[in-house]
Amino acid sequence: MRRLPIYLLLTLAALFFLLPLYIMLVTSFKTMPEIYNQGILALPRQFDLYAWRHAWSGATIGASNQGIHPFFINSFELVIPAVIISTAIGAINGYILTHWRFRGANIIFYLLLLGTVFPFQIILLPMAWVQGKLHIAGTLIPGLVMVHIIYGLAFTTLFFRNYYVGIPHDLVRAARVDGAGFFRIFWRVMLPLSTPIIMVTAIWQFTMIWNNFLFGVVFTNSDQQPVTVAINDLVDTVTSVHMWNVDMAAALIAAIPTLVVYLLAGKYFVRGLTGGAVKG
Amino acid sequence: MKQPAKRALALAILGFAALAAEPALADQTSLSVINWWTAGSEAKAMNVLVQMMKAQGVNIKNDAIAGGGGAQARTILKTRLMEGETPGAAQIKGVEIQQWGHTGLLANVDAAAKAGDWDKNIPTEIDNYMKYKGNYVAAPMDLHRLNWLWYNRAVLAKAGIKTPPKDWDELIADLAKVQAKGMIPMAGGGNGWMIATEFDPIALETGGPEWYRDVFVKLDAKAINSPTMVKALERLRQIEKYTPKSLAGRTWNYDTGLVAHGQAAFQIMGDWANGQFEFLGVTPGGPKVGCVAFPGTANDFIYNVDSFIFFRQHSAAGREATIKLAETMTSPKFQLLFNKYKGSIPDLMNVSLTGYNPCQLKSRAQFLTASKEHNLVPSFSQNMSTYGPPTGAFIDSLDQFYTSNESPQAAAAAMTKRVEVAKSQD
Amino acid sequence: MAHSLMQRVGGKDQVIAGLMLSPTVLAAIFFIYAFILWTVWLSLTRSTILPSNHFIGLANYHDLFGSSRWWRSLSNLGIFGGLYVAISMAIGLLLAILLDQRIRGERLFQVVFLYPMAISAVVTGVAWRWLLDPNFGVQAIVRSLGFTHFQFAWIDDPNFAIYTVVIAAVWQTSGFMMAIFLAGLRGISPDIVKAARIDGAGTLRIYRRVILPNLAPTFFVAFILSAGLAIKAFGLIIALTGGGPGYSTNVPTIFMYVFSFERGEMGVGAASALIMLAIMMVVVVPFVILDARRKV
């Protein structure tokens, strides 16, 4: 069994990765006295669903006492348009930067690259000013959606550009010879080849936007806040009572959509990256 | 392969259309109230305020944002102002109110103060914070006491302690007794906020109210870099020795649980601990858990007052609503209800505290005595004594000291230097 | 390459391409570069609780570099950033190589390694705080197995707390690094490997001489992404240690946020943001230049 060490290493790594999830799960099913009196690895004596129910629809969060479910819905309203639009624009940008190259295309690309690494705290105040001027301050749609699209573009453009670099120019040239124009080539030649990279980009954007906290807390009014902000409201209170089982249940509920995306589409993620998203 | 990609693009176009169709949200008749009371009883109490205002025909948007003693809420306040979306009120307290007064953005709520007779019903010490250049620009919501020592009666009995400690030496002796029995003597430690909150009564006990004011209010370098400060820091170190290291990184709520459940003997914490004890099913001052003024400070009162500043509104209706809001926040009905939940006492001295627990009643009585004897001091750890930068300098220094092997002398010197730098930033 | 041809025949479509790209370019110029310029101005003013236009020169930078908290934040970024980038890339590469051995249950392993990416930092921080807590977590568990003197209380120790941040951050993103490296490995043409094998090279030698050199672009992407994540790390640290004990796990992002918004020292906060940006450029730009050279 030459391959045994490989499986052993992989299994050890898997345990390391699963440990926090396990702790969150068992804690969410415990009662408060159990949490105080038992080890964190211990299984709950009985599976108590109180924390899950309370987190979903009973906990008082800010102005609402309906638990995290209204915020959960907010997050969907945010993430769907933001992911679709930033992915679509990234696709077109990537297509232009690779197959309609002009002088300075590389410079533009490197300028955009800064957008993937610069600290977002910088933009809070000036962006607030802009949103005020546009009269969209404090809104989920279009205010927060706009912020996520703008600061997601650098990533989506990077992904599509690196993928489309691998598509032979001959394909585009042939289409041009057949009389196809800018949009027709994109629609007929590029898009049909793009499923893997669309999956990668969409998964990436979905994860980033769903899990984002900073923009959500700053750019939305309290009734429009995404679920990460609601979780923080619940978990991070200074002078109020604490229920760790509810904290954990709420945290798990907030993680479900991204977990589902990874479970269902995880294979596309690696396959899509293989397709060339990571080729420099 | 072809179909999913096309469908995605079609969806994108639909997304654009949906964006364009969404109407802008604008509700001019409502006032937003920015605060960091996001969960549990505090949030419930805020929602009572919302209901009371609704009954008067004013829509309140409860803008509650959690996090680090208001860090997040301040971020929101600043971004709202950048957006040009002036809030109705924001949870700002202590000396910072003067800084906001300086911006010229605040509303004059003298009318509310007159209607509620704040001058008479609210102690002058608190009133002074609420005024900018002689006019009321803020309203107080509660009155917290910092210098409390909470203890579990059963644990003390097990350690052979008959009465809670009355001075420093008794406290140290009691801590040793508890430790000898293998129980946690002091539940505490943790982040900067918690360390500073513990240091607050220790400093007062060591140096007395005069020295406390010289240090934390006047920021007098001679008082900071003094043998008294060295002694106070030595005492913080002594307390640290009786605090399990492993409690760092826990929250104060967790520590309160240890006292409530009989795993720890003592906790130094402000009276917001009342709410956590009640939640855990033990009434402070009842048969299980007791409260006593921090040893050596029975006649003193370190106070912390949460308050709201009001912003000038453009419309007459907005201005009228602002006055109503200030009146309601300081009305006996709201203050009695709110403070009962919060563990504090009302700012109004003319209301009787029916239904309050023994510790809260003691708090009111000792406030009145301390006020008469000039033994009231504003809490530095709760941002009451000075501006943000010097407060930060104190907390940073205590953090550094608590979490390293720094000597008390070196710490006092470093603290003096940090405070001097911070002073120049105003 | 065929670019020259494309340019000659471009015409009307070339104009459309330019038009379609311009909103992104304008957005980048305004929402990234103009905002940075505004921050530069802010850092030169006496801005406290709100922005002001009172020019005070470099005083904020003077205060910034006179602050021991800032120096601690910088050294923490060095420790955290260096270890995090190195370890997460190493684990990612190792897992990718293991998964690339045609093993059973590859998909399952992939999902298990990737899922931490799906969970927000606020949540991750809470779970890890419990695990690292000596009372409940790893220390207590190992002690209950009979090793009563086992010590693991880094999270309470100001000199070691920053390493717990490394652990949690590595946990969160090394699966992502695995995915990137796996993709890189799968992208290498099997012919090259086959050729090497025919030449009689062993597995180790193939990896060292053939596969790893071919992964150079993958290393570039993995480095850029992980360095970016390291410098931007914020929510995870806030949730895990709150920047403490004391300020022992402060990093520049936390420093900047606390000073700009909580403490009302906006000018100092802006100055710290720009230093952060400069560090980012120093780290990333050489790699970008290398990348550009490689392509030309």
Tell me the residues of chain A between 157 and 186 that have a Cβ less than 8 Å away from chain B: none
User: What single DSSP character describes residue A43?
Assistant: P
Better-scored residue on pLDDT, C24 or B425? C24
Judged by CB atoms closer than 8 Å, whether chains meet at C155 and B74 is answered as: no
Cβ of C153 and B400 within 8 Å? Answer: no
The pLDDT score that the predictor gives to residue B2 is 43
Show residues of chain C in contact with A231, CB under 8 Å: 120, 122-123
Q: Can you give the pLDDT at residue C255?
A: 93
Q: What is the pLDDT of residue B112?
A: 96
Residue B29 confidence (pLDDT): 64
C-alpha–C-alpha distance, residues B87 and B309, integer Å: 10
The whole-angstrom distance between A50's CA and the closest CA on chain C is 20
Residues of chain A contacting B11 with CB distance shorter than 8 Å: 84
For B83, the closest of A137, A145, A240 (CB atoms) is A137
Asked whether the beta carbons of B118 and B402 are under 8 A apart, the reply is: no
pLDDT tens-digit readout, C141-164: 888 888 888 888 788 777 899 999
Determine the Cα–Cα distance for residues C84 and B8; give it in Å rounded to an integer: 36
pLDDT exceeds cutoff 60 at B14: no
Averaged over B262-279, what is the pLDDT?
Answer: 91
Cβ–Cβ under 8 Å, residues B329 and B322 = no
Confidence (pLDDT) at B339: 92
Residue among B403, B424, B425 whose CB faces C246 most closely: B403
Task: Enumerate domains of chain A plus CATH numbers.
Answer: 69-277 (1.10.3720.10)
CA A137 to chain centroid? 22
Q: What is the pLDDT of residue B69?
A: 62
pLDDT surpassing 50 at residue B16 = no
What fold, for B145-303+375-423?
Answer: D-Maltodextrin-Binding Protein; domain 2 (3.40.190)
pLDDT at C31: 94
> Is C143 an interface residue toward B (CB < 8 Å)?
no
Q: Which residues of A touch B50 (CB under 8 A)?
A: 63
Contact between chains at A60 and B40 (C-beta distance less than 8 A): yes
**pLDDT by residue (tens digit) across C100-113?**
988 888 888 988 99
| HEC sequence for chain B | CHHHHHHHHHHHHHHHHHHHHCCCCCCCCEEEEEECCCEHHHHHHHHHHHHHHHCCCCEEEEEECCCHHHHHHHHHHHHHHHHCCCCCEEECCCCHHHHHHHCCCECCCHHHHHHHCHHHHCCHHHHHHHEECCEECEEECCEEECCEEEEEHHHHHHCCCCCCCCCHHHHHHHHHHHHHCCCEEEECCCCHHHHHHHHHHHHHHHHHHHHHHHHHCCCCHHHHCCHHHHHHHHHHHHHHHCCCHHHCCCCHHHHHHHHHCCCEEEEECCCCHHHHHHHCCCCCCCCCEEEEECCCCCCCEEEECCEEEEECCCCHHHHHHHHHHHHHHCCHHHHHHHHHHHCCECCCCCCCCCCCCHHHHHHHHHHHHHHHCCCEEECCCCCCCCCHHHHHHHHHHHHHHHCCCCCHHHHHHHHHHHHHHHHCCC
As a whole number, mean pLDDT of residues B109-113 equals 97
Q: CB A40 to CB C32 under 8 A?
A: no
Q: List chain A residues with pLDDT less than 50.
A: 238-239, 277-280
- Helix, strand or coil for residue C30? helix
> Is A112 touching B (CB cutoff 8 A)?
no
**How close B258 comes to chain A (CA, Å)?**
9
> Which pLDDT score is estimated for B246?
62
If one compares C180 and A239, the residue with the highest pLDDT of the two is C180
- Chain A: residue whose CA lies nearest to C274: A122
Contact criterion met (CB < 8 Å) for A119 and C112: no
What is the average per-residue pLDDT within B87-97? 93
pLDDT at position B346: 97
Query: Does domain B30-143+305-357 match CATH 3.40.190.10?
Result: yes
Q: How near does any CA of chain B get to the CA of C88, in Å?
A: 25
Contact C262 B396 (CB under 8 A): no
- Res. C4 pLDDT band, cuts 50 70 90: very low
pLDDT band at B20 (very low <50, low <70, confident <90, very high): very low
> What is the per-residue pLDDT across C221-239, written as a single tens digit (0 to 9) for each?
888 889 888 988 888 898 8
pTM for this entry: 0.81
- Tens digits of residue pLDDT in A91-147: 999 999 988 877 778 888 888 888 877 888 888 889 988 988 898 888 888 999 999
- What tokens were used for A117? 């690494």
Interface contact A61-B43, CB threshold 8 A: yes
Q: How many pairs of residues across A and B have Cβ atoms under 8 Å apart?
A: 174
The pLDDT of residue B17: 44
Q: Give the H/E segment covering residue C143.
A: helix C138-144
Whole-number pLDDT of residue A109: 85
Contact C45, C56 (CB under 8 A): yes
Give residue C1's pLDDT. 41
Min Cα distance C109 → chain A (Å) is 7
The distance of C200 to chain B (nearest Cα, Å) reads 40
Phi, psi of B320, deg, nearest 5: -65, -40
Contact B83 A132 (CB under 8 A): yes
Q: Where are the domains of chain B?
A: 30-143+305-357, 145-303+375-423
Cα–Cα distance between B360 and C79 in angstroms, integer? 48
Q: Does B425 touch chain C (CB under 8 A)?
A: yes
**Binary contact (C264, B99; C-beta < 8 A):** yes
pLDDT score, position B26 = 39
* Residues of B in Cβ contact (< 8 Å) with A60: 39-40, 43-44, 47
The DSSP element (H or E) to which A199 belongs, if any, is helix A195-211
Amino acid of residue B270: G
Q: Could you report the per-residue pLDDT of C13-69, keeping only the tens digit for each?
A: 888 888 999 999 999 999 999 999 999 999 999 988 888 889 999 999 998 998 888
Residue of A nearest to C144 (CA): A39
Check: CB of residue C133 under 8 Å from CB of residue B249: yes
Predicted local distance difference test score (pLDDT) of residue C295: 58
The minimal CB distance from C280 to the residues A39, A117, A169 is found for: A117
Closest partner residue to C245 (CB to CB) among B191, B387, B389 is B191
Q: Which residue has the higher pLDDT, C134 or C182?
A: C182
Rounded Cα–Cα distance for residues C83 and C95 (Å): 18
ipTM associated with this complex: 0.85
With a CB cutoff of 8 Å and minimum separation 6, the contacts of B407 are none
pLDDT bucket at B193, cuts 50 / 70 / 90: confident
Query: pLDDT band at residue B13, thresholds of 50, 70 and 90?
Result: very low
Confidence of residue B23 (pLDDT cuts 50, 70, 90): very low
Instruction: Domains for chain C: give ranges and CATH numbers.
Output: 67-295 (1.10.3720.10)
Q: Say yes or no for a CB contact (<8 Å) between A88 and B12.
A: yes
pLDDT at B74: 87
Nearest by CB to residue B64, choosing from A62, A139, A195, is A62
Q: What mean pLDDT comes out for the span B24-44?
A: 70
